[in-house]
Amino acid sequence: MISHRLRIQGVCDVVEFYRDPAGITLAGREGNWLPYPIEYKRGKPKPFDADELQLCAQAICLEEMLLCSIPEGSLFYGEPRRRTVVRLGVTLRERVETMLAEMHALFARGHTPKAKVGKGCAACSLKDRCLPKLAKAQSASDYLRAHLPREVDAP
């Protein structure tokens, strides 16, 4: 899926389609169908809203691609083994757009924020690219300052 307006792309885990008068037509199917994105997650719901933001970004991409409105989706967590319905309201959509604007601004400046190392790093699909343990490592300039003798001013 892709949003040219937000300059993002990705892959949905699952998109189900339900009959709905406000939906879209699908080739080979009668009636109108409303897309319903579902994101699968290991473990249980998190205390922060990263999963909801990801699901909302997926819905925004689908809306742009399919020219429809998607009012909700679901997160399926492996530990409780059930779906959690997520309303994709104005506040969540604004947060997605604000965070994406910040991300694009950081990218334009060539700035990479330091990784925030946490419990979830071990199970993260990006850990081989992020290398969160390097965030704890001393910078090269600090290492050199600490281990090389200081220059002495010559008379």
Residues 24, 12, single domain; the answer is yes
Residue 122 maps to a domain: yes
Residues 70, 13, single domain; the answer is yes
Torsion sign over Cα 35, 63, 95, 132: positive
pLDDT tens readout for residues 49-105: 999 999 999 999 999 999 999 999 999 999 889 999 999 999 999 999 999 999 999
pLDDT tens readout for residues 3-52: 999 999 999 999 999 999 999 999 999 999 999 999 999 888 988 999 99
pLDDT tens readout for residues 101-137: 999 999 999 887 777 787 777 777 777 777 766 666 6
First to last CA, the chain: 67
Residue 108 maps to a domain: yes
pTM value > 0.85: no
Domain that holds residue 128: 115-147
Residue 152 maps to a domain: no
Residue 59 maps to a domain: yes
pLDDT band at 153 (very low <50, low <70, confident <90, very high): low
Residues 27, 86, single domain; the answer is yes
